[in-house]
């Protein structure tokens, strides 16, 4: 009887703790890199591309043996492009055991949710571009694209020397992304002696741009700097064409993106933009990435897809340089790091980060020609 | 002056589309004594019927529009009445209103889940040319949107006032018991009202989606603006919905152009509060009696 009781107790213990031990062992073979991204709402275009680019990289990395012998796992956490939701989801992802947080893309969300990651000492690979993000002293935030503070100045020479502009209008979205770019741009124009004759803010998700375009037309601007998110850029371009606005429309990052071209159709033709990344670049590694993305998802992507791809590879390379899954060591390693594309091909271009997590890399001037984004110039890293 | 003309015409064009959705609110109110809080989604959904017909079934665009219209009339007219409204009619009031709210969520989330969360391009119905009007450059699309919307509302008004069926529909809306006694098939008249509302919502969808893009969340804004337009104009008059829609479209554009762009979204709400305080029956509504 006593022997039977002992056997029963042992069986009960095995049944209770065995699966848990198995689960822990199984979990130790996998590393969670959650995508806290905008998969619905105004940011669905950006977040979905970011996630899909990252997934492509993750599958390649896992097929090649993973990182330090472990497989990467990426679960989706849809922020619905809402900052408070993104904050809660970053906390949830950390509670679920995230090694590194992947996302968010919208700057308004990142500024809110990165405080959670910072408090928990979890590195975060963001697709956001508002300058403020790397100015708040967060040692765990790292970009996958240069901010407006680096990108917008590249346009100053274009407006002043190439277009010879003396009067310019600014159409910008009133969120963290737009405000950051707007402030840098206005300051740059002042320094270059170019008058900002129309300063036209719009709201995120805005559908009707009739008044905005009308104000710009009336201002006598010789060119327009358009700094809106993807859907709003498309609506702006369609309205500009409808109202016969013929001055050059020049953007930063979004205006000549593939999704904007798809949404705006012929209205996008002739638009210019400075972009940090583009699938239209005549760079073999980027062309190969674009081909792989198209083959996997049946569609073209934009700069967000590239950001996601290189962000995931950055996690792989930095972790391997550190030699372990150590979050603190990961963050320390990234500061001041340069990943040469010759040695780290997944980065697609040689990429550097400074002590604030700000990124430097060569970039491109693009133009939409016959419904396609074409690279018309190269801008060296600054 | 050129800017004013441009902004005015653009506002009238957008406002006329709001008006078509607002007329739907009025019709449903008269037919079922309920506010259809899924009206915005009724305007959102037909665009996706067209996209499915055009991209998945590879139908020519004009045929896709016809398929979209037919699908909208069946789903948002006939099925809505049979499956949602009829079971709730014996207990009109809050349960039916809450049902329409739930329906709005179901429609919105279904499109998001089964079609996608991203905005989709919707083909233009009209040429993208511009014509000069007194120094202003006016879009042909705006002019045609305005013309189509006004024509549809005018045709509806003539139908309701000048045809036997239309007068039967009015009689049913005013007093269904007496109408039935007089030999009007009131069930059929109510059904026609729902079908007409669905058709109006579909037409509004086809006109606005090339500009707004087709997106699952479009219904939220459109529904709110159309609701406010119906109240501002007068909830018991079709011409009230028309006036309300045009007014909101024009004032929104003029405010954003000449006053402030940041607070343009507040304008319809401020207008709503003012109208309810000063003239609750709406600008052209009547304070008692019901008329479709």
CA of B3, closest CA in chain A: separation in Å? 6
pLDDT exceeds cutoff 90 at A37: yes
Structure confidence at residue B265 as a pLDDT band (50, 70, 90): confident
> What is the DSSP-derived secondary structure letter of residue B214?
B
Contact A231 B119 (CB under 8 A): yes
In a domain, A372, yes or no: no
**Looking at this predicted complex, what is its ipTM?**
0.85
Q: What CATH number is associated with residue A286?
A: 3.40.50.2300
Contact B130 A212 (CB under 8 A): no
Contact B117 A44 (CB under 8 A): yes
Residue A297 sits at the chain B interface (C-beta within 8 Å): no
Is A196 found in the same domain as A117?
no
pLDDT exceeds cutoff 60 at B223: yes
In a domain, A12, yes or no: no
pLDDT digits (tens, 9 = 90+) for A156-214: 888 988 889 999 999 999 988 899 889 999 999 999 999 999 999 998 888 889 999 99
Structure confidence at residue B288 as a pLDDT band (50, 70, 90): low
Mean pLDDT of A138-155: 88
pLDDT exceeds cutoff 80 at B287: no
What is the tally of structural domains in chain A? 2
In a domain, A381, yes or no: no
Residue B125 sits at the chain A interface (C-beta within 8 Å): no
Kindly give, in sequence order, each residue whose CB lies less than 8 Å from that of residue B251, ignoring residues fewer than 6 positions away: B11, B267, B271
Residue B145 sits at the chain A interface (C-beta within 8 Å): no
pLDDT digits (tens, 9 = 90+) for B46-82: 999 999 999 999 999 999 999 999 999 999 999 999 9
Residue B141 sits at the chain A interface (C-beta within 8 Å): yes
Distance CA A236, CA A239 (A): 5
**Chain A 17-56, CB below 8 Å of chain B: which residues?**
39-41, 44-45, 48
pLDDT digits (tens, 9 = 90+) for B148-167: 999 999 999 999 989 999 99
In a domain, A127, yes or no: yes
Is the pTM value of this prediction over 0.90? no
pLDDT digits (tens, 9 = 90+) for A263-292: 998 999 999 999 888 888 889 999 999 999
How many contacts, defined by CB atoms under 8 Å, are there between A and B? 96
In a domain, A3, yes or no: no
Is A271 found in the same domain as A170?
yes
pLDDT exceeds cutoff 60 at B212: yes
Is A158 found in the same domain as A142?
no
Q: Chain A residues with CB inside 8 Å of B262's CB?
A: 174, 201, 203
Beta strand pairing status for A76-78 and A35-37?
parallel
Structure confidence at residue A26 as a pLDDT band (50, 70, 90): very low
Rounded percentage of chain B residues whose pLDDT exceeds 70: 98
Instruction: Report the residue from A203, A259, A265 with minimal CB separation from B265.
Output: A203
pLDDT digits (tens, 9 = 90+) for A45-90: 899 999 999 999 999 999 999 999 999 999 999 999 999 999 999 9
Contact A263 B218 (CB under 8 A): no
Q: Chain A residues with CB inside 8 Å of B139's CB?
A: 242-243
CA of A21, closest CA in chain B: separation in Å? 37
In a domain, A292, yes or no: yes
Beta bridge partners of A77: A36
Is A49 found in the same domain as A78?
yes
Distance CA B68, CA A194 (A): 50
Determine how many CB atoms are found less than 10 A away from the CB of residue A105.
31
Range of the domain at A142: 33-146+282-361
Is A294 found in the same domain as A199?
no
- Closest by CA to A364, choosing from A381, A377, A373, is A377
Distance CA A130, CA A139 (A): 16
In a domain, A15, yes or no: no
* Beta strands in A38-166, from DSSP E residues, in sequence order: 71-73, 76-78, 101-102, 124-126, 141-143
The pLDDT of residue A20 is 41
pLDDT exceeds cutoff 70 at A16: no
Is A159 found in the same domain as A271?
yes
Contact A210 B261 (CB under 8 A): no
In chain B, what are the helix, strand and coil shares in percent, each to the nearest 5? 75, 5, 20
Contact B137 A263 (CB under 8 A): no
The pLDDT of residue A6 is 58
* Beta strands in chain A, from DSSP E residues, in sequence order: 30-32, 35-37, 71-73, 76-78, 101-102, 124-126, 141-143, 167-173, 195-202, 223-227, 249-252, 272-275, 338-339, 351-353, 359-360, 363-369, 372-379
pLDDT exceeds cutoff 90 at A294: yes
Strand order, beta sheet including A338-339 = A338-339, A351-353, A359-360
Which residue of chain A is at minimal alpha-carbon distance from B124?
A265
Residue A299 sits at the chain B interface (C-beta within 8 Å): no
The pLDDT of residue B91 is 72
pLDDT digits (tens, 9 = 90+) for B76-99: 999 999 999 888 877 767 888 899
The pLDDT of residue A22 is 33
Kindly give, in sequence order, each residue whose CB lies less than 8 Å from that of residue B288, ignoring residues fewer than 6 positions away: none
Determine how many CB atoms are found less than 10 A away from the CB of residue A62.
17
Is A270 found in the same domain as A172?
yes
Mean pLDDT of A296-301: 92
Query: Can the peptide bond before residue A325 be classed as cis, meaning omega within 30 degrees of 0?
Result: no
Which residue of chain B is at minimal alpha-carbon distance from A42?
B118
Terminal Cα-to-Cα distance of chain A (whole angstroms): 80
Task: Give the end of a domain, one of A275, A297, A317.
Answer: A275
Residue B52 sits at the chain A interface (C-beta within 8 Å): no
Is A290 found in the same domain as A142?
yes
CA-based max dimension of chain B = 60
pLDDT exceeds cutoff 80 at A2: no
CA of A287, closest CA in chain B: separation in Å? 25
In a domain, A187, yes or no: yes
């Amino acid at each position: 009887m006593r022997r039977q009781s002992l056997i029963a107790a042992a069986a009960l213990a095995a049944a209770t703790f065995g699966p848990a031990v198995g689960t822990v062992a199984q979990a130790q073979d996998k590393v969670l890199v959650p995508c806290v991204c905008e998969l619905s709402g105004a940011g669905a275009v950006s977040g979905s591309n970011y996630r899909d680019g990252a997934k492509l990289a993750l599958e390649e990395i896992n097929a090649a043996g993973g990182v330090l012998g472990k497989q990467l796992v990426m679960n989706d956490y849809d922020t619905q492009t809402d900052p408070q939701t993104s904050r809660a989801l970053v906390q949830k992802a950390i509670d679920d055991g995230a090694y590194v947080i992947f996302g968010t893309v919208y700057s308004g969300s990142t500024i809110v949710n990165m405080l959670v990651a910072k408090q928990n000492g979890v590195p975060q690979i963001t697709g956001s571009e508002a300058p403020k993000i790397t100015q708040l002293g967060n040692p765990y935030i790292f970009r996958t694209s240069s901010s407006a503070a680096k990108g917008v100045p590249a346009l100053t020479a274009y407006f002043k020397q190439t277009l010879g502009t003396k009067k310019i209008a600014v159409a910008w979205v009133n969120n963290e992304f737009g405000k950051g770019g707007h402030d840098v741009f206005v300051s740059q124009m002042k320094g270059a002696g170019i008058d900002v004759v129309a300063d036209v803010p719009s709201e995120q998700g805005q559908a009707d741009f009739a008044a905005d375009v009308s104000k710009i037309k009336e201002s006598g601007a010789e060119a327009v700097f358009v700094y809106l998110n993807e859907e709003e850029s498309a609506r702006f371009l369609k309205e500009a064409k409808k109202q016969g606005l013929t001055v050059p429309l020049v953007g930063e990052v979004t205006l000549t993106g593939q999704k904007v071209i798809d949404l705006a159709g012929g209205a996008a033709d002739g638009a210019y933009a400075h972009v940090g990344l583009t699938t239209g670049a005549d760079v073999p590694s980027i062309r190969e990435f674009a081909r792989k993305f198209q083959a996997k998802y049946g569609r073209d992507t934009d700069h967000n897809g590239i950001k996601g791809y290189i962000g995931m590879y950055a996690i792989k390379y930095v972790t391997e340089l550190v030699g372990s899954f150590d979050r603190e060591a990961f963050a320390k390693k990234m500061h001041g790091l340069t990943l040469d594309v010759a040695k780290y091909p997944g980065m697609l271009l040689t990429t550097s980060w400074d002590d604030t997590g700000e990124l430097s890399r060569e970039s491109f001037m693009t133009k939409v020609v016959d419904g396609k984004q074409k690279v018309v110039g190269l801008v060296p890293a600054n | 002056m050129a800017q004013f003309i441009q902004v005015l015409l653009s506002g009238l064009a957008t406002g006329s589309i709001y008006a078509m959705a607002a007329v739907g609110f009025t019709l449903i109110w008269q037919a079922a004594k309920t506010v259809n809080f899924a009206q915005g989604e009724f305007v959102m959904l037909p665009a996706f019927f067209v996209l499915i017909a055009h991209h998945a079934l590879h139908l020519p665009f004009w045929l896709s529009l016809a398929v979209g219209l037919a699908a909208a009339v069946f789903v948002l007219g006939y099925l809505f009445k049979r499956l949602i409204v009829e079971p709730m009619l014996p207990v009109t009031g809050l349960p039916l209103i809450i049902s329409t709210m739930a329906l709005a969520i179901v429609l919105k989330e279904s499109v998001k889940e089964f079609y996608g969360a991203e905005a989709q391009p919707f083909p233009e119905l009209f040429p993208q040319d511009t014509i000069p009007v007194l120094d202003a450059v006016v879009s042909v699309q705006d002019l045609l949107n305005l013309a189509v919307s006004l024509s549809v509302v005018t045709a509806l008004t003539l139908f309701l006032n000048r045809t036997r069926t239309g007068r039967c529909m009015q009689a049913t809306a005013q007093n269904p018991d007496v109408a039935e006694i007089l030999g009007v098939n009131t069930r059929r008249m109510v059904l026609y009202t729902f079908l007409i509302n669905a058709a109006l919502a579909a037409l509004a969808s086809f006109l606005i989606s090339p500009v707004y893009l087709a997106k699952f969340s479009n219904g939220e804004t459109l529904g709110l603006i159309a609701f406010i337009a119906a109240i501002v104009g007068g909830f018991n008059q079709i011409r009230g919905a028309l006036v309300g829609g045009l007014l909101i479209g024009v004032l929104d554009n003029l405010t954003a152009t000449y006053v402030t762009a940041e607070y343009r979204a507040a304008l319809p709400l401020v207008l709503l509060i003012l109208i309810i305080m000063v003239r609750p029956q709406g600008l052209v509504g009547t304070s008692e009696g019901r008329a479709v």
